Structure 1
Amino acid sequence: MQSQDLRQTCGIIVRMNTHDASQLPVFDPTGDESGLVIYRASRLEALLAPLRDLLAATAAQDPLQPQTVLAAHPGMKQWLTGALARQMGAQGIVANLQVLLPSSWIGKLALDQLGEHAVSLPRWQRQHLRWSLDQWLGDAAQIQGLDDPRIATFLDPQLPEGERARRRYQLADRLAGLYSRYLVYRPDWLQAWAGGQHRYATAGQGDSQWAATESRLLAPLWQHAVKHLGSHRAQLLAKLEQRLQSQSLAPQPALHVFGLSHLAPAELAILRAYARHGLVALYLPDPCRDYWGVLEAGDASLWRQQEDSLIAAAEGGDWWRPARHELLARWGRLGQHFFSSLLEGEVREDVRHWQDDETPATANRLTRLQQSIRHLDESLLCPSDDLASEQQDVSLRIHLAHTPQRELEILRDAMLDARARGIEPGQMLVMAPDMQRYLPLLPALFGEPGNPNERLPYHSADVSMSATHPLYGAFLRLLGLPGSRLEVTEVLDILAIPEVARRFGLDDSALERLTEILAQSRVAWSLDARHRASFAVPACAEHGFAWAMDRMIAGYLGSDAGGDAITAWQLPDGTEMLPLAHLDASDAAALGALDALLQQVQKMLSLSDSSLPTSEWVQYFQALCEALLCVDTRDGAAEDAWQALRQVIAGLRNEPAVAGLDPVLHFRVAVDWLKAALQAVPERQPFLLGGVTFSGMVPQRAIPFRFIAVLGLNEGEFPRSSEDGGLDLMRRLRRRGDRDLRQDDRYLFLETLMSARSQLHLSYLGEAVKDGTPRNPAAPLAELMAVLEQADGACSAAMKNAAPWRVKHPLQPFDRRYFDGSDVRLFSYQAAFAGLHQKPAEMAQAQMQAKNPPEDTLALSAFNAYWRDPAKQLLAGRIRLSLEALEDDRLSGEEPGDDALSWQDSIAQRLLFEEVLADPAWRGDVMPDWLRLDGRLPVGQLGIEAWYQERELILYLAGCLRDQGVLADNLQKQRLVIDLDVPLETGSLRISGQVRDLLQHPSGGWQLLTFLRPVQDDKGEWKDQKLRFDKRCRIFIDYLVTRLSLPQEVPLYCTLTWAQQDKWIASLHQADALYRSGELPRERLEARLAWLVEAWLAAPAHPRRYFPRTSWAAWEAMQKDGGDGVLIAKAIANAWDGFGGGERDYSPGYTRLLAGDETFAPGTPAFTELCDFTRALAAQLEYFMEPEA
């Protein structure tokens, strides 16, 4: 077939000049222009020149007649149009070119050749067929032969109506999906089933379960469908092929097919038949230079027979054939079957691009890998013996990260580095098996999508409809309400959605006020007692929204009373209610919005167990949107999203209408359909909009980019697997050429590897965040890593051990290793983190700058916050890196459920100063109404026990305070305004703020009150807490700023809510007496305060030298046995990462984030710095912290 004589007979002359990029057969206008011609190249863009030239050679004489090009997929279609235009050059144009997908072209051809036969096809499409199947499964007994017992079990009449309806729809959808595949890959089965042969596919099979699936489910149901729906796609394709095989058909225009890697047998047969009457040119991306439809040497027909035997013997499992290249054998089956099938029929010409014969003199890692596949020679992958050069090679790296966010942070630095090397964002592609996981993180790390001013402008493609505009997410939140616990945070989140807030006229201040009201009301979850009971818990009203709304309305109506002195209401039914305090007319809008939302939730709950026709559901959901959502009419994107949402809702009616149905659906089925519609990827979604493209794996397959990244290559997530519930006969009875999802993904991975032109960035979650446990990569990535390791081993043992392509990343983006140059593969473009790891000379300069901050005022609250929680103050307070979303919510979706109140919820302080200290006889026999009815306590006996616990605590604290001079006649707490100038080495700094909880002391002067909650031991006795550094520093700072702000002669005492006589507090009082007598100069106190201020200012340059619990443990160990280093190290280790969790693991994670992988191992700089600072801090408290004997 490749002979020169045959080429001339066919009217084709192949240009054999190796300098001609296209090697294009030249057509004689008077000759035969039919037949199948194949062009192959391992680089997709190399196929553009043949396409360009052949389009010119086969152009019709009529300039108005369009030429047809078939593109493999929508992404390829968009890329091809632009790439072909660039191929034409500055003076060329691409005009009158019709670029279609293969299925669209076949449909158009069928309509042209068969006319009326294409009319009934829509009813066989999956989205329409499932509604017919759903109707028939609802009355399965009426379908002859449909008696699979699994159907009766799955659709058990004893199930709740909603669950049964949902199962029936899910089964119908799955069966529709199977039949859709069979229409393409098993038309012979369908023909046999329609003719009554119900044991056709499994004839001769010994497995009775599969035989029953065919004969008692799939075959009779299909026969019933054909009887009611008429002709289908498989019949249409058979008729079309028969029509095209006719000798009487007129010559057809040339057809160009670009970028295919697979074609179903029936569709390939259509192309072959068309090629009898017109030229069909296939432009195929082929990873190998040589023919590899048969990887082993030998006869092709014999290979196909052996492959068929292996498939049959595997009985639905996988099979293995050794080959000349490990990766092609594991990844290439889909393409191997396709290229093998192409040559089963007549091929007029098969041309390989000359460029695939080239072998570059020097090659980076990516090029070596591609060349080894292209030449079927694994030895080409062997690296050079220069380890430094291999580590610097960025062309192919596999990155191990801890979290999806870290994957994106690592990717961002790699992309910025690539841009610095001349790769523009438009030449970058980022893919992932599950891109939906990464989409919410993109704005925080890459900025606003579509903004050309970002360092890496980007857009997202192949994303679900719900991810394209917040309006869809808002509607999905509403759909989920009937099945939710209706927690208070969830309701607030919904009201804060811009479209919902706009509907009710809520601004930020109104939402903030509503948050305060809900916090005060102590609502937790549930609409009312009945809703609560649906979750199998007692049906009590407390802590539900109905209970809270009653309190709010009562408080609003009785707002004239004002203050906290609101008394309980006795209702006619004998129940009691405590109105909510501090409500007035300004709260009406916020309360009205909350009530309106709850009314809609109530209505949705009442409908949640109902069944209605789809037309009525459409009316309800559209009315729900009108009631709760309102878009900004000035925002074009929002208006488009609003119209699209209405169209999606209308689709619930329109989709079954194609099948002539208006089915009665249960609420759960209607909601499931709407959710699936919004979470699906729209058919018409733009690709390649400029900038970096983020997309799923499939839409961009085989398209070349200079930089390609694939994230989330985790075990179990890629290759993807399909679930069929044991119904898919194709999984058991496979054939050569079938499209299997797992093999499709493997070939997709191969195409991705071959499509990267300059850099391939692969990443997966390689370690667990909590304990660093290794995690496995996806199987194709693991196979690639094994081949790379083998190549390294062939080079040298040192290269194998180094694995320069494998990059294990630290947990935190500001880890020291990104900045110290110890590993060229670890780098960062985040300048904000670089200051944490400056060299000594730079550190000194940073400290000097820190001592002269641009602001000359220090807030007392921020000052105290650092000594209490240094990691949070540095990250959230200084560089605005917040973990607020991980912190315990101010509003909790959990009602009180413990017999002890938290210190924040404790009413001890209020009762102490309102009742107990003023009344020595107080015993708490009667619980106050404001406590009994305001929701602070658990319901029932737990609430009573919590009161008893709190009462004991109050009595203990009262005794402690009375012993220290807090008496009935001095209970009025005062505040002292602080405006203090603190002299520093390089100037001065002003501290401003307030010191609260000052009380007059019985002997004169003031006492500074500090509340510390004691703990109970196993015997129920109260024990005072340890005064670690966090508490001591706060007391010390408040004492210093108060002492320096008061007149020198006024005494100042420190009063704590505990019973012990603390030496440190006593020394504090002694120092105060010395100060008042003049023996302790003011400058000494100012120097102590200045030292703490300077430490605060220098903290960003020394972020890991102070952690309160760990530093205190170190200090305690320093006081024992002469400060033995082993004991100090052990104490630090136990406090930092002890059994059950240490300070490093404090929620929400600021400490771990700041410390990174630091363990404070003995001898490390971090260990030394922490110990040195601990000693220095203790020295500054020498008057107030005497070492224990």
Structure 2
Amino acid sequence: MRKRASPSCSFPRPARRRRRCGSRRSSRHGGPSGIFCKNPATRIEKEPALRYIPTGNSEGVFVKFYLYTGNKLERLAEKFISLVCGSLPADVFTPETVVVQTQGMAAWLKLRIGDSGRIAANFDTPFLVNFINRTLEAVFPQFRADFERFSTELLPWKICRILEREPERYPELAAYLSGPQAELKRWQLGCRIADLFDQYQIYRPKMLEEWRAGNRPEWNDADWQKRLYLELRGGHKGREHYFSEFFRLRAVPPGALPERVTVFGVGTMPPLFLDFFLKLSEFTVVNFFYLNPSREYWSEQYSDFEAARLVARDGGTLEQFHDGNPLLASFGAQGREFFRHMAGMPEVIHPEDGELFEPFLETSGDGPDDYVNPTRLTALQQDIHAMFRRGPEPDGEITGRRFDFPPQDRTIRVHNCHSARREIEVLHDQLLELLEDPELQPRDIIVMAPDINTYVPYIRSIFGQGPLKNVYAVSDRSLRRTSRIADAFFELLKLRHSRFEASKVLDLLHVPAIRSRFGIEAADLDPVADWIERAGIRWGVDRNDRLANCTVGFEEYSWRQGLDRLLLGFARETVPGDLHSDGLLPLEAVEGSSSVLLGRLVSAVERISALRRDCAGSRPPQEWSELLLKALDELFLPADEEFDEFSALRRAVQLPGRQAAAAAYDSPVPVDVIEDAVDAALSPAGRNDPFLRGKITFCSLVPMRSIPMKVVAIVGLNDGEFPRRDLKLGFNLISRKIAPCDRSRQAEDRYLFLEAILSARRNLLLFYQGQTARGNDEFPPAIPLGELIAYLKKSAPFEETRHRLQPFEFSYFDRNNPNPDARSRSRENFEAAETLLASLRRGRPPEPEAVPHLEPAGIAAISPQELERFFTNPCRWFLNNRANIFLFNDEEDSGDVEPTPESVDRLQQYLLKTEIGAFTLDELDRDTQYRLLRRGNRLPVGHGGELLFDEIYGTVQKLPQSWRDALRNRVPMTVSLESGQLRIAGTIETAPDGLSQHLLFYSGLKPKYTVRAGLRHLLLSLMQREPVTTRLLTFERGEPKEHRLDAVSREEAQSVLNTYLALFLEGQQTPLPFFEKASQACFERGLEAARRAFTSSCKAGGITGDLDDPAVRRCYGPDSFDDPGFTEALERCARILLGSLELKEVEP
């Protein structure tokens, strides 16, 4: 029987170095006869129920630490079920304590219990740290109070209080904490230090004990950490003290501990925790179920890099390390250290049936060439399990045979994709294929990612529709990164750094929870956006807000001015050109019941702007929590399905105030500190997310999450992203002197990858982004994945699947495609691929979906103005009025910036000329006109806007007096005409005698003006029995130019009008090919000139072709001129609309 001295302190003993034993296999399972033994002959075949450990005095202790080890969780679970269910506690109401590292493991274990025919009831499944803290509290009643005083939740605030009140004691930190945002930097530094001190308690407890004993730190620049730690501790005891006291215990209070404790499925843990459970076994039974990847003694399995470092330090040759599986050596560093620590614990009891190793496939012997019916996956797993290696050795010798797997062996698949979205698209196709097997169910599939939050939007988009819509669940989501409510809350806080732009406020109103709070429906957003555009609201709350943002106070284009104009326009009857007493120009945009919506909009904007204003300055954390909680209730009304998210957000907002109060911190801080604290509270993965609920499970790659599944998929195995890098703080004392089993993110991720490989029972799917979307530049996979691929190629021929950029590549649907991993089952993508393939065969790009050819509209009556709008842009008319298609032109968006003289384009100048012309006809003076346009947000702000106004005003003043008189004297004339089955009814404006009309346009002559003048001339000719004339005035290069249409007979007028109306009716069935530029060019210079005018574009020079119009582009393409039917219709329309009436230029 082995002996050990009573520990003189609570810290792990240094592990003894061991050499790997030879291949030792049992007759039953192919496992070792003594996996933790140097020499199998020293193994005690039958262990006693208790192990007596002599101590340094006359007394000894009995240890009840039972170790069960195996390479498959299923076997460990079987033994756990038989052990626990076979010996129930005396009190059936006593819960069974099972310590796990994740709730996912607890859920899986309960499912296994249910599958065995038993009931998983009254199970207590605490996390590892929670159980240890709970035990220490049960043994030491004062532990809870001391632990809470030094908890990572309160510690940052305590550190901030010390650094704020006594900065002179920590001159080492003065340089960092000086300058702008000092409070935020102090808070963030406090969080880092708090986390570091928490790690010291677990991984460097001896160092903390030495600090408390008065010893100097090992490093001179660490003295400030010692001073800070001791000041934080004060007269209270730390967790390391309670560990030390626990290790010295000889007895515990009755009832303090459960009768039996099971630690299940653990692959690694800090040495301090392992020693804790060993000591715990002196007082209660501890069953330790250890998941061990290999049946061999593998504590000296080193990667090539580690081996080279050991040779450089200790001497020897690299050849002595080339014994064992390279993947186990490379991926298993973290587990290897834990295995070595376990092997250095002779007190552990090894039950006779405690070694539960099971090979991954049948073997006919003990060598790597004796596998029976291997698959690519099981061969890899067995190589790792038995510590075999394959491929050439450094001396040229070949170890292990190469397999010749059949093509249908796709048990391991590696997919090289362009983006995260493509990874999920390919995964979706792969799972659809696998689920065609009736023996595979969605619950048998797990999909992991280094960070699942990156993939949540794509998972929802792709799996949220189609056959897998209701058979997937996402776990480990960070509320901060996946909740729309949380995102909206932080966007509200960010408004304090913004100019309060119109677009940002509108984006917030698109959040359903905010919209609901103010009673605004989704259908209300379009009219709200229209009001904001018409009111000219761009940014800024009011004049004072502008003054704070740009040191210039002005009301134009602000929210206050725009909303007041809307309210004033609704509240009072206005006269054109009438300014309110305070200089406001009423805007008549709201009428009737829409006033209710306007009131709700005003309430929303005022509440949002109030929060923005409240976020300025500094307040104590408690006040910030109260203010933000009030804002949440006033700004959000979550739906039923959003209530959990909203409740979690409220709890996160409450935390800073509560924690600061508990830490006695009441100094004012900016909201930046609270924002960072709430962000940190919402960032961890949610604990209540669904896991193993009978669906495909998506989750993050975290310790002990790699539970056995038929199909295991891992996405995001990208170079530089996996494994995660250890970004150590410069003052982290742990990283200065590495000890066995120290936590390393990189080593942890490698071990998780190893566990995932070993947990797949049927298929292993691996994905990485190895190509760029632009240029197809190649990137290597993550280093662990690259090592795996290299090993697979040594074992057998193996190639990854290199996917295309788009899911609708026709090769995915080619029956002759030799690669089954590069196929798709998406009908939507299949239809897109058909279109793509057809277009390539035609030799030109795919066209948009053809505009439908519709049945006659059945229009009975139409007004002259509607006819004019039709001929202005027949394509837009057809899409809007017949096909119900509305296209948005990005260039029409005015953005969040008020106009400048340089940004006012030709269309805006034309509209300004039209408004100034109307003011001129109303005989308003220059100053009044300028004031109206400025207060109506129609001009750039400042002197530049006045200069632009004067330039346009000067052009308009060139309007001849005779034209001014004629335009002022126009009177409406009723039109009522029958033409076939169509009746034209409405009004047009004519001279008082009804025999002439004047049309004014403040730009050059265009086809739409010609058609408008002709149409009105024909209508007036048919309404009067005497000859009529129509005069048209345009401005060419700023100078007025007059045109005239002479009288025509009623018969001719009727004939021409009939052709116009025939084109109108034709345009109700298909888009009429009449365009602003191409039609004029066709009429004047022929088809080639029309083609150039149709397609030519130089936006930088202000030159656009007809195809720049989204409506035209939707109906026709650049190759439309290759269609004889199109060119014939184009010539016919141009000839009828531009040549039926002669428009004569009038000499000045």
Matching of residue 72 in structure 1 with residue 72 in structure 2: no
Partner of 1:484: 498
Q: Which residue of 1 aligns with 2:939?
A: 937
Q: Could you give the per-residue CA deviations for residues 133-155 of structure 1, whole angstroms, max 9, x where no partner exists?
A: 11111123464xx331xx11122
Question: For 1:808, what is the secondary structure of its paired residue?
Answer: coil
Kindly state the Cα deviation for residue 446 of structure 1 after the two structures are TM-superposed: 3.8
Moved more, 129-138 or 304-313: 304-313
Question: What residue in structure 2 maps to residue 783 of structure 1?
Answer: 786
Q: Is the 8 A contact 2:970 2:990 kept in 1?
A: yes
1:337 aligns with 2:337: yes
In the alignment, residue 266 of structure 2 is paired with which amino acid? L
Instruction: Indicate the residue corresponding to 1:206 in structure 2.
Output: none
Question: For 1:746 and 1:366, how far apart are their aligned partners in 2?
Answer: 18
Q: How far apart are the structure 2 equivalents of 1:284 and 1:1149?
A: 68
| Cα separation, partners in 2 of 1:106 and 1:482, compared to 1, 3 Å | same
CA shift for structure 1 position 925: 9.4
In the TM superposition, residue 176 of structure 1 has moved relative to its aligned partner by 0.2
- Aligned residue for 2:730? 726
Superimposed CA distance per residue, residues 45-85 of structure 1 (whole angstroms, 9 cap, x where no aligned partner): 34322222333456556555544322122221222222232
* Equivalent in the alignment of 1:177: 195
One-letter amino acid of the structure 2 residue matched with residue 619 of structure 1: E
1:944-1093 residue pairs with structure 2 within 5 A? Answer: 944-947=946-949
The 5 Å alignment of 1:36-435 reads 36-41=66-71, 43-56=72-85, 59-60=88-89, 63-86=92-115, 88=116, 91-141=117-167, 143=169, 146-148=170-172, 151-156=173-178, 159=179, 163-200=181-218, 202=219, 211-212=220-221, 214-215=222-223, 217-228=224-235, 230-243=236-249, 253-275=259-281, 280-288=286-294, 290-295=296-301, 325-346=325-346, 347=348, 348=350, 350-355=355-360, 366-367=377-378, 369-375=380-386, 376-378=388-390, 384=404, 393=410, 395-402=412-419, 404-422=420-438, 423-435=440-452
Asked if the contact 1:706/1:757 (under 8 Å) is kept, the reply is yes
Change (3 A) 1:807 1:384: farther
Q: Using the aligned pairs only, state the percent identity.
A: 21
The residue type equivalent to 2:157 in the other structure is W
Which residue does 2:20 correspond to in 1? none
Counterpart position of 1:11: none
Q: 1:465 to 1:835 in 2, by over 3 A?
A: closer
**Other structure's SS at 2:171 match:** coil
Distance 2:1058 2:664 in 1: 92
Instruction: Determine if the alignment matches structure 1 residue 580 to structure 2 residue 587.
Output: yes
Letter in 2 for 1:40: G
Match of 2:28 in 1: 17
Matched residue of 2:734: which SS? helix
After TM superposition, give the deviation of residue 166 of structure 1 in Å.
Answer: 1.4
2:40 corresponds to: none
Task: Output the CA distance in 2 between the equivalents of 1:542 and 1:979.
Answer: 50
Give the CA deviation at 1:282: 3.7
Change beyond 3 A, Cα 1:721–1:233: same
Match for 2:933: what amino acid?
L
1:756–1:901 Cα change, 3 Å: farther
Per the alignment, residue 652 of structure 1 pairs with 656
Q: Could you list the runs of 5+ residues in structure 1 that have no partner in the other structure?
A: 3-13, 203-210, 314-319, 982-990, 1015-1023, 1061-1065, 1098-1106, 1156-1165
Query: Match of 1:731, SS?
Result: coil
Change (3 A) 1:461 1:274: same
CA 537–305 in structure 1, closer or farther in 2 if over 3 Å, else same: same
Distance in 1 (CA, whole Å) between partners of 2:50 and 2:95 is: 21
Structure 1 1175/1042 Cα, relative in aligned 2: closer, same or farther at 3 Å?
A: farther
**How far apart are 1:462 and its partner, in Å?**
1.5
SS at match of 1:76: helix
**Normalization by structure 1: what TM-score?**
0.71
| Alignment deviations for residues 354-386 of structure 1 (CA, whole Å, 9 cap, x no partner) | 446658756665555545544543558977587
Matched, 1:698 2:727: no
Deviation at 1:525, TM superposition (A): 1.4
Alpha-carbon shift at residue 233 of structure 1 (Å): 1.6
Distance change (3 Å), C-alpha of 1:226 and 1:947: same
Separation of aligned partners in 2, 1:952 and 1:583: 34
CA distance in 1, matches of 2:32, 2:991: 97
Give, in angstroms, the shift of residue 524 of structure 1. 1.2
* Secondary structure at the counterpart of residue 480 of structure 1: helix
Cross-structure match for 1:831: 828
SS at match of 1:243: coil
The answer (yes or no) to whether the contact 1:1013–1:1057 under 8 Å persists in 2 is yes
SS in 1 for 2:108: helix
User: Tell me, what secondary structure is at the counterpart of 2:289?
Assistant: strand
Pair 1:738-2:723 in alignment:
no
| SS of corresponding position for 2:243 | helix
CA distance in 2, matches of 1:184, 1:997: 88
CA-to-aligned-CA distance 1:624-665 (integer Å, 9 cap, x gap): 234333456xx4x55555554443333233223444555544
Partners of 2:34 and 2:871 lie apart in 1 by 77
Structure 2 alignment gaps of length 5 or more: 3-24, 36-43, 52-62, 364-369, 392-399, 1038-1042, 1136-1148
Deviation per CA, 1:585-607, whole angstroms, max 9, x where unpaired?
A: 74554444444445445554554
How far off its partner does 1:528 sit?
2.9
1:37 aligned counterpart, secondary structure: strand
Tell me if the contact between 1:79 and 1:703 (Cα under 8 Å) persists in the aligned partners: yes
Separation of aligned partners in 2, 1:554 and 1:747: 68
> CA distance change for structure 1 residues 325 and 583 in 2, over 3 Å: closer, same or farther?
same
AA of the residue aligned to 2:941? V
Matches of 1:741 and 1:1144 in 2, distance apart?
A: 59
User: 2: CA distance between counterparts of 1:183 and 1:176?
Assistant: 11
The root-mean-square deviation of aligned C-alpha atoms, in Å, is 6.4
| Residues 1179 and 335 (structure 1), Cα distance of their counterparts in 2 relative to 1, 3 Å cut | farther
Tell whether the 8 Å contact from 1:39 to 1:281 is kept in structure 2 after alignment.
Answer: no
Closer, same or farther in 2 for the Cα pair 1:551/1:1088, shift >3 Å? closer
Contact 1:908–1:954, Cα closer than 8 Å, also in 2:
no
Q: In structure 2, what is the Cα distance between the partners aligned to 1:501 and 1:864?
A: 40
What SS class does the counterpart of residue 896 from structure 1 fall into? coil
Q: Does 1:614 align with 2:617?
A: no
Distance in 2 (alpha carbons) for counterparts of 1:996 and 1:903: 31
* 1:669 Cα deviation after fit: 1.9
SS in 2 for 1:127: coil
How many residues align structurally? 1040
Query: CA–CA distance in 2 between the matches of 1:1096 and 1:835?
Result: 28
Normalising by structure 2, report the TM-score. Answer: 0.73
The structural deviation recorded for 1:104 is 2.3
Q: How far has the Cα of 1:410 moved from its partner? A: 3.8
Aligned residue among 735, 738, 747 for 2:751: 747
Aligned equivalents of 1:1120, 1:534: Cα separation in 2? 58
Distance 1:804 1:540, change over 3 A: same
Higher alpha-carbon deviation: 101-110 or 537-546: 537-546
**1:184 CA displacement:** 0.9
Larger of the two Rg values belongs to structure: 2
- Distance change in 2, residues 1:856/1:938 (3 Å): closer
CA 1:600–1:326: 2 relative to 1, 3 Å: same
Q: Secondary structure of 1:561's partner? A: coil
Change (3 A) 1:852 1:265: same
Any conservation in 2 of the 1:400–1:765 contact (CA below 8 Å)?
A: yes
SS state of the match for residue 689, structure 1? coil
What is the identity, as a one-letter code, of the residue corresponding to 1:1177?
A: F
Does the 8 A contact of 2:917 with 2:956 survive in 1? no
State the shift of 1:264 in Å: 0.4
Aligned-partner Cα distance in 2 for 1:493–1:274: 57
